[in-house]
């Protein structure tokens, strides 16, 4: 007797997300972040950063789960708040944030390009000023991602 149930698509081998974004814009953004000593150097270019963030969010489409993006955003907001009260605790939480992102990536909850971009940005946070710039980026990305259907 034939099986009439529809079969679910199988997850690819390994714990890698199904979609990767080969966009030159995303690779360019990651390279520009890699060249920075700290994110605070971008303050004068905040408008340019926000414009690039809009392009990035538009290209991200549905590759990034909105719930996962909000989790990343809220976790980072808590870290930013710690910089005002206890900078050492903020630095510790920031160090531990990278393994949390790796875990989410490994489970297929975020695409490689977002994981790599966040990893590079987090590694460039040297002080509260840098953390505020990353917060601006995440705020803009979350807003544009929602605006473009994410």
Evaluate if residue 57 carries a pLDDT over 90: no
Q: pLDDT tens, 96-132?
A: 999 999 999 999 998 888 898 899 889 888 888 888 8
- Greater confidence, 51 or 148? 148
- Greater confidence, 36 or 3? 36
Query: 3-class SS at 86?
Result: coil
Q: pLDDT tens, 20-54?
A: 443 566 666 666 665 555 555 555 566 677 778 88
Which residue in the block uniquely carries the two structure tokens 């000023």? 129
Provide the 8-state DSSP code for 8.
P
> What angle separates helix 87-106 from helix 128-147, to the nearest 10 degrees?
40
Given this model, what pLDDT does residue 70 score? 93
Count of CA atoms in the C-beta half-sphere (13 A) of 80: 18
pTM score, whole prediction: 0.71
């Amino acid at each position: 007797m034939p099986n009439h149930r529809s079969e679910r698509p199988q997850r690819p081998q390994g714990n890698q997300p199904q979609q990767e974004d080969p966009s030159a814009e995303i690779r360019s953004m990651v390279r520009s972040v890699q060249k920075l000593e700290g994110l605070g150097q971008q303050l004068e270019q905040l408008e340019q950063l926000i414009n690039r963030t809009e392009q990035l969010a538009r290209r991200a489409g549905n590759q990034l789960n909105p719930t996962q993006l909000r989790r990343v955003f809220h976790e980072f907001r808590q870290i930013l708040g710690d910089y005002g009260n206890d900078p050492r605790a903020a630095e510790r939480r920031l160090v531990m944030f990278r393994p949390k992102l790796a875990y989410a990536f490994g489970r297929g909850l975020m695409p490689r390009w977002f994981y790599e971009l966040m990893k590079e940005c987090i590694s460039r946070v040297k002080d509260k000023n840098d953390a505020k710039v990353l917060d601006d980026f995440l705020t803009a990305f979350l807003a544009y991602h929602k605006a473009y259907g994410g």
